[in-house]
Amino acid sequence: MAPEITAATPADLPAVLELIDASGLPRAGLDDHVATTLVARESSRIVGTAALELYGGSALLRSVAVAAAVRGQGLGQR
């Protein structure tokens, strides 16, 4: 079954930060951008995340991470 991609909620933040830490990415400021963060769920587990920082008419793509257990399965292409 393919992971479901949904908008992150504040309750997802601990799992997102754990995934960010495991991927060696910076977590500073990510909690300010939960509203523009997506998560990929496999069952109830978050296995991927991507966030945008919006600045007027521009955006910064940041914090794209996929859990080691599902890397290489095409999740980042969805």
Residues sharing a CB contact under 8 Å with residue 36, sequence separation 6 or more, in sequence order = 51, 52, 53, 54, 59
Tens digit of each residue's pLDDT (9 = 90 or more) over 55-68:
999 999 988 999 98
Q: What is the CATH code for 4-73?
A: 3.40.630.30
Tens digit of each residue's pLDDT (9 = 90 or more) over 7-51:
999 999 999 999 999 999 998 988 889 999 999 999 889 999 999
